[in-house]
Structure 1
Amino acid sequence: MSERRRRIGDGLAVLAGARPDVLAAAPGARQRFVALGGVLLSTGALAAVSAAFAVGMALGVWWPLAVLVGLGWGAVVVNLDRMLLVGMAHDSSLKRNLVMAVPRVGLALVLGVVVATPLTLQVFSKEIDTEIVAMQAEAADAHRVALESDSRFAGLPDLRERIATQEAVVASGGVADPGLAVVRAGVTEKQAAYDRAVTLQRELDAKAQCELDGTCGTGDAGTGEAYLQARAAADAQTAVVTAARAELDTAVAAVAAAEGRSAALAGSSLDADRAELTRLTAELDRQQAAFDVENEGSGGILLRLEALDRLGGRNMTLAAAQFMLSLLFMCVEVLPVLMKLLLNFSPPTAYDRLVQLRDSGDVELEEMAQESRRTVAQAKEELLVLAERERVDRQKEAILARRRAALAEVAARTEAARAQPEAPAAEEPAEAPRQLWDTGPIRELARSAAVRTVRSVRRRPADRTPTTV
């Protein structure tokens, strides 16, 4: 068990950036690096959980896949934090530490915000879900109003009202048509005129009757002059009543005909209006249904952040809790860099001094190795130069020997030619006679060989191409 714990501790120390060879020489620093490695693993685990929640909220994927993605993101965060720690070597200078720490702390803060956001959303998930339902309902209502105010659907209220009017007209046989108000007003006037004529006729009949009875007028019963005048007036009014009745019947017939035509016209246009209303209503419902599907499935991180912001704007307690929770997660993420920065301000430990000695020793050894390789390379070059010089000297001796042999051969041939007797004058030689000193082609060959030899000997060493040994 202790061996296993020791291996785990060594792994955490290496994760925190410790060098095993130096740590073996300075075991007192082991606990510090083990604790720092544990902090790194804690931040990685927090980042893994945050990424799993983020992937689940944003994409709605299967939770084992979200966990795998979260583990990958946690490994990335651990690697980044380890890079920030390893890059901050121990230095007692405040200025250099600040210069090194500011960008690292800034990067750690960015990572902290990224890690803290999904965790904060998950903590307030119930409140956010309730707010999202309200926001989706508001968005659906706003979209419905926007659709109804669209030019394509702006005539729907008038179309519905017209269809209702047409249905009422058809159901009432044209009576409910408001366009027949003028015609009905004429019937009303004719009816009033007829009623007045009938009333006047009744009054005249009553007056003639009371003249006949003697109960009114002259008071004399019988068919006297007063009665005859009253009867004549009553009979004349009967013609007026008949005429008024005829006019009323004509107006009523006109109204009935107008109502029939109105009912027929409303019935003929009702089907077309109903079809248009059905088409527009179906298109409106289709677009609203498409928006509702999209609206209900829009519960991603952006909408949840907006819901959390709205909740924080209405509830200061929730806003304070959100701020403190986010600050906690960010502090956990920044903690490794802050710990390393604080350790840099402390006096150098034995581990730090050993690291500095090992690094300086490695540099010195590498410099010595470089110097040795440089000396060996220089000696090899000198040997190559000496070997090349010996080869050139050997070639020069060989060329000089060939030159001396060629000159001796030419001299021997010249002496042999001089020792021969002269030929008779009568004989025609095959070719022009040569002088005793003319050695012919042999002399030319010897001369050209001597020139080549001298040129090769006088050539500078820089003009010759070195050969490798």
Structure 2
Amino acid sequence: MSERRRRLGDGLTILAGARPDVLAAAPGARPRFVALGGVLLSTGALAAVSAAFAVGMALGVWWPVALLVGLGWGAVVVNLDRMILVGMAHDASLKRNLIMAVPRIGLALVLGVVVATPLTLQVFHKEIDAEIVSMQAEAADAHRQSLEADTRFADLPELEERIAQQEAIVASGGAADAGLAVVRGTVAEKQAALDSAVTVSRQLEAKAQCELDGTCGTGDAGTGRAYLQARAAADAQTAVVDSARAELDAAVAAVTAAEGRSASLAEGSLDRDREEFTRLTAELDRLQAAFDAENEGSGGILLRLEALDRLGDENMTLAAAQFMLSLLFMCVEVLPVLMKLLLNFSPPTAYDRLVALRDSGDVDLEEMAQESRRTVARAREELLVLAERERVDRQKEAILARRRVALAEIAARTEAGRAQPETAAAEAPAEPGRQMWDTGPIRELAARTVRSVRRRPIDRMPTTV
């Protein structure tokens, strides 16, 4: 068990950026690096869970696949945090620490926001799901209104109203046609005229009867002159009543014919209007159904973020809880950098001193090795120069020796040439007479020239170097 714990601690120290060779010489720094490695491991685990939730919400993949992606993202975050910690060497200078820490803390904050967002969405997922349903319903209603305002479907209400009117006309046999109001007005006028004529006729009949009975008018009973006049007026009004009744019957017949024609026309156009209404309604329903399907499947991370913002605007308690939760996750992500920054302001530990000594010793050793390599290279160059000089001197001595030999031979040959004419003059017989083609000295000069050309190259060397 202790061996396993020791191996785990070694792994955490290496994860925290500790040097095993220095840590072996300063074991007191081991707990600090173990704790720092644990913090890095916890931030990586938090990032892995966050990425798994994000991939699951955004892509809807199988959870084991999302978990694998999350583990990869957690490894990336741990590597980035480790790079930040390793790059922050111990330095007690406030200015240099701030200069180094500001960009690193900024990067850690960005990572913290990225890590905290999916976790926050998962914590408030129930409230977000309810808000998403409301948002989807609002989006569906807005899309329905936009479709109804479209020019393709703008005539649907009028067409629906026209179909209802035509169905009423057909059902009533044309009586429900509002276009027959004028004709029906004529019938009403004719009916009023008939009623008025009937009323007058009844009055005239009563007056004639009254004159006949002697109960009114002149008071004389019998068929006198007054009665005959009243009777004639009553008979004339009867003709008026008959005429008004005939006109009323004609108007009623005209209305009946108009209603029949209206019912026939309505029945003829009702099928076409129904077919057009069915087609437009089906197209409208198809577009709405397509939008509804897309709307219901749009519960991605962007929509969830928008729902969370709306919930925060409507509920201040939820907004405060969201802020504090996000701040917590970001603090966990920034914690390794803050710990390293605080440790840099503390006095250097034995580990820090040993690291500085090892680094400076390595630099000194490297400088000494570099200087040794330079010295060896210079010595080799000097040896090469000396060897080259010796070789040149040997060649020069050989050339001078050959020159001295050549000069000696030339001198000896010259002395021999001087002594030979005197001996030849004493011993040689008299010169025979020359022929006319004998050139004499010219031929001897040519012979000497040929001999000088045939000499060895060493004999033709110049007399000066």
TM-score, scaled relative to structure 2 = 0.89
Pair 1:426-2:453 in alignment: no
- Paired residues in the alignment total 454
Aligned to 1:173: 173
By how many angstroms is 1:267 displaced? Answer: 2.3
Unaligned runs of 5+ in 2: none
Cα deviation code 1:16-59 (max 9, x no counterpart): 01000000000000000001000100000001001101111111
Cα deviation code 1:294-343 (max 9, x no counterpart): 11111111111111121122222211111111111111111111111111
By how many angstroms is 1:412 displaced? Answer: 8.4
Question: What value does the CA root-mean-square deviation take over the aligned residues?
Answer: 2.9
Question: Would the aligned equivalents of 2:170 and 2:264 in 1 still touch at CA under 8 Å?
Answer: yes
Over 3 Å counting, the alpha-carbon distance change for 1:212 and 1:370 in structure 2 is: same
By how many angstroms is 1:399 displaced? Answer: 4.7
Give 3-state SS (helix, strand or coil) of 2:217's partner: coil
Q: Provide the C-alpha distance between the structure 1 equivalents of 2:260 and 2:90, rounded to a whole number of angstroms.
A: 104
Pair 1:99-2:99 in alignment: yes
Letter of the 2:449 partner, please give it: T
Over 3 Å counting, the alpha-carbon distance change for 1:223 and 1:302 in structure 2 is: same
By how many angstroms is 1:105 displaced? Answer: 1.2
Letter of the 2:203 partner, please give it: E
Q: Provide the C-alpha distance between the structure 1 equivalents of 2:432 and 2:60, rounded to a whole number of angstroms.
A: 124
Give 3-state SS (helix, strand or coil) of 2:449's partner: coil
Over 3 Å counting, the alpha-carbon distance change for 1:427 and 1:387 in structure 2 is: farther
Q: Decide which moves more: 69-78 or 152-161.
A: 152-161
Question: Would the aligned equivalents of 1:13 and 1:37 in 2 still touch at CA under 8 Å?
Answer: yes
Aligned to 1:393: 393
1:10-409 to 2 correspondences below 5 Å: 10-400=10-400
Q: Decide which moves more: 29-38 or 288-297.
A: 288-297
Question: Would the aligned equivalents of 1:156 and 1:277 in 2 still touch at CA under 8 Å?
Answer: yes
Question: Would the aligned equivalents of 1:163 and 1:273 in 2 still touch at CA under 8 Å?
Answer: yes
Letter of the 1:134 partner, please give it: S
By how many angstroms is 1:393 displaced? Answer: 3.4
Aligned to 1:464: none
Aligned to 1:460: none
Aligned to 2:449: 439
Give 3-state SS (helix, strand or coil) of 1:435's partner: helix
Q: Provide the C-alpha distance between the structure 1 equivalents of 2:353 and 2:444, rounded to a whole number of angstroms.
A: 98
By how many angstroms is 1:254 displaced? Answer: 2.2
Letter of the 1:323 partner, please give it: F
Cα deviation code 1:118-165 (max 9, x no counterpart): 111111111111111111111111111122122222222112111111
Question: Would the aligned equivalents of 1:410 and 1:443 in 2 still touch at CA under 8 Å?
Answer: no
Q: Provide the C-alpha distance between the structure 2 equivalents of 1:254 and 1:413, rounded to a whole number of angstroms.
A: 168
Letter of the 1:239 partner, please give it: A
Letter of the 2:289 partner, please give it: A
Over 3 Å counting, the alpha-carbon distance change for 1:284 and 1:154 in structure 2 is: same
Letter of the 2:171 partner, please give it: A
Q: Provide the C-alpha distance between the structure 1 equivalents of 2:462 and 2:185, rounded to a whole number of angstroms.
A: 146
Question: Would the aligned equivalents of 1:16 and 1:33 in 2 still touch at CA under 8 Å?
Answer: yes
Question: Would the aligned equivalents of 2:210 and 2:217 in 1 still touch at CA under 8 Å?
Answer: yes
Over 3 Å counting, the alpha-carbon distance change for 1:34 and 1:426 in structure 2 is: same
Q: Decide which moves more: 116-125 or 241-250.
A: 241-250
Q: Provide the C-alpha distance between the structure 2 equivalents of 1:445 and 1:252, rounded to a whole number of angstroms.
A: 159
Letter of the 1:442 partner, please give it: V
Q: Provide the C-alpha distance between the structure 2 equivalents of 1:149 and 1:356, rounded to a whole number of angstroms.
A: 77
Give 3-state SS (helix, strand or coil) of 1:348's partner: coil
Q: Provide the C-alpha distance between the structure 1 equivalents of 2:267 and 2:463, rounded to a whole number of angstroms.
A: 127
Q: Provide the C-alpha distance between the structure 1 equivalents of 2:206 and 2:463, rounded to a whole number of angstroms.
A: 174
Over 3 Å counting, the alpha-carbon distance change for 1:283 and 1:412 in structure 2 is: farther
Give 3-state SS (helix, strand or coil) of 1:433's partner: helix
Over 3 Å counting, the alpha-carbon distance change for 1:202 and 1:434 in structure 2 is: farther
Q: Decide which moves more: 68-77 or 148-157.
A: 148-157
Question: Would the aligned equivalents of 2:39 and 2:336 in 1 still touch at CA under 8 Å?
Answer: yes
Give 3-state SS (helix, strand or coil) of 2:223's partner: coil
Unaligned runs of 5+ in 1: 455-469
Give 3-state SS (helix, strand or coil) of 1:175's partner: coil
By how many angstroms is 1:409 displaced? Answer: 7.6
Over 3 Å counting, the alpha-carbon distance change for 1:214 and 1:82 in structure 2 is: same
Q: Provide the C-alpha distance between the structure 2 equivalents of 1:354 and 1:453, rounded to a whole number of angstroms.
A: 73
Q: Provide the C-alpha distance between the structure 2 equivalents of 1:171 and 1:423, rounded to a whole number of angstroms.
A: 173
Letter of the 2:141 partner, please give it: D
By how many angstroms is 1:396 displaced? Answer: 3.8
1:444-463 to 2 correspondences below 5 Å: 450=461
Q: Provide the C-alpha distance between the structure 2 equivalents of 1:83 and 1:183, rounded to a whole number of angstroms.
A: 96
Question: Would the aligned equivalents of 2:57 and 2:300 in 1 still touch at CA under 8 Å?
Answer: yes
Over 3 Å counting, the alpha-carbon distance change for 1:265 and 1:448 in structure 2 is: farther
Letter of the 2:443 partner, please give it: P
TM-score, scaled relative to structure 1 = 0.89
Question: Would the aligned equivalents of 1:16 and 1:40 in 2 still touch at CA under 8 Å?
Answer: yes
By how many angstroms is 1:199 displaced? Answer: 2.0
Q: Quote the sequence identity (%).
A: 80
Q: Provide the C-alpha distance between the structure 1 equivalents of 2:408 and 2:154, rounded to a whole number of angstroms.
A: 127
Aligned to 1:466: none
Question: Would the aligned equivalents of 2:407 and 2:463 in 1 still touch at CA under 8 Å?
Answer: no
By how many angstroms is 1:448 displaced? Answer: 12
Question: Would the aligned equivalents of 2:144 and 2:288 in 1 still touch at CA under 8 Å?
Answer: yes
